[in-house]
Amino acid sequence: MTDTTPAWGSPEDDDAVTTERVVRPGADDVERAAEAALRPRRLDEFVGQRVVRDQLSLVLEAALGRGRAPDHVLLSGPPGLGKTTLAMIIAAEIGRPLRVTSGPAIQHAGDLAAVLSSLDEGEVLFLDEIHRLARPAEELLYVAMEDFRVDVVVGKGAGASAIPLALPPFTVVGATTRAGLLPAPLRDRFGFTGHLDFYATDELEQVLVRSAGLLGVELRADAAAEIATRSRGTPRIANRLLRRVRDWAQVRGDGRLDLAAARAALEVYEVDALGLDRLDRGVLRALCTRFGGGPVGLTTLAVAVGEEPETVETVAEPFLVREGLMGRTPRGRVAMPAAWEHLGLTPPAPSGTLFG
């Protein structure tokens, strides 16, 4: 990869920060492009996460002052809170290129060695879902992060030998939604660890106002508040709902993004006042009406709603538990009083029955 960025600590333009995406699984191209257009480019544009922003600012300013690559950075937290955006901001703030890959894409140590050996001095390597790295790749990454070298194995069997290959200084930014799965030796090699928390409603309103300006639409304050309260504390969801409200206002409304448009659009897309979508309500309704509020096993509950257990556990359950609508017990999942109230149902008398 050719390095066309300016020297350390010198002024640079955002366009000087190049991005090479090695692998980007998942997301639809149109949605991904829309999300990318709304991403902040600098720390001072990034809304929320005040503690992480302040700490990261110190790390980057100190590195620039010394003329060296910043320490490796680990960002943890639920999806959609800005881990990828912060990785891009880190590269932009220090004026270096960004290389992006992900844990599932690194199946062998050789895959990682190829990426590392092609890095230029000071480059930022973003490893998304770093907890899903294969074990041989993890062990290679330990040495690369600490000693800036990789050992290239030549030959096979008894005649094999390892040739150390020196690497230029670089910065690894790892992102994970499950920090507990990272082995301790890997966690210890990160000089800075930041945990991203869910956003408050007023912070999401700021995100929405900024995004509306970038989209070239006028967002009324009451509409911003309505969207923010249904966004589950997550900027990615807030921006997605904003685009859907804009679509509704353009096609079925008068083009204005006001409270009426926001409520009508979110009703079309089945997002209720708490931010629950079709899957969330399906899980709650099955738990309450089919299993009397539980306890019920995860697999049984997933079959009842026609989803995979992993989908229920990773997509619906975290938010339902956080909002006090569902509980996890040693005997299974249970509906909390707030779930019955939200669905307009009356909880039955306790029976002690266990399902699944």
How far from the centroid of its chain's Cα atoms is residue 355's Cα?
A: 34
Q: Quick check: 94 and 71 in contact, CB under 8 A? A: no
The DSSP result for 150-168, as a single string, is EEEEESSGGG-EEEEEE--
Q: Quick check: 71 and 188 in contact, CB under 8 A? A: no
Q: Is 176 annotated as a binding residue?
A: no
Q: Is 254 annotated as a binding residue?
A: no
Q: Quick check: 17 and 95 in contact, CB under 8 A? A: yes
97 C-beta neighbours (distance < 10 Å), count:
22
Burial of 151 (C-beta count, 10 Å sphere; 0-12/13-18/19+): middle
Name the active-site residue from 5, 101, 176, 177.
177
In the residue annotation, 177 being an active-site residue is answered as yes
Q: Is 84 annotated as a binding residue?
A: yes
Name the active-site residue from 5, 53, 83, 111.
83
Name the active-site residue from 96, 101, 111, 128.
128
Q: Is 146 annotated as a binding residue?
A: yes
55 C-beta neighbours (distance < 10 Å), count:
15
CA distances from 61 to 76, 160, 196, 263 (A): 22, 44, 21, 44
Residues 6+ apart with CB under 8 A from 233: 198, 199, 200, 204
In the residue annotation, 222 being an active-site residue is answered as no
In the residue annotation, 128 being an active-site residue is answered as yes
How far from the centroid of its chain's Cα atoms is residue 344's Cα?
A: 33
Name the active-site residue from 96, 236, 246, 263.
236
Q: Is 148 annotated as a binding residue?
A: yes
Q: Is 333 annotated as a binding residue?
A: yes
Q: Is 199 annotated as a binding residue?
A: yes
Q: Is 147 annotated as a binding residue?
A: yes
For 224, phi then psi, to 5°, come to -60, -40
Q: Is 46 annotated as a binding residue?
A: no
Burial of 280 (C-beta count, 10 Å sphere; 0-12/13-18/19+): buried
In the residue annotation, 83 being an active-site residue is answered as yes
**Beta pairing partners, 69:** none
In the residue annotation, 353 being an active-site residue is answered as no
Name the active-site residue from 84, 101, 171, 176.
84
Q: Is 331 annotated as a binding residue?
A: no
| Residue numbering of the annotated binding site for ATP | 38-39, 80, 83-85, 146-148, 189, 199, 236
| Residue numbering of the annotated binding site for DNA | 328, 333
> Which residues are annotated as catalytic?
83-84, 128, 177, 236
| Residue numbering of the annotated binding site | 38-39, 80, 83-85, 146-148, 189, 199, 236, 328, 333
| Residue numbering of the annotated binding site for Mg(2+) | 84
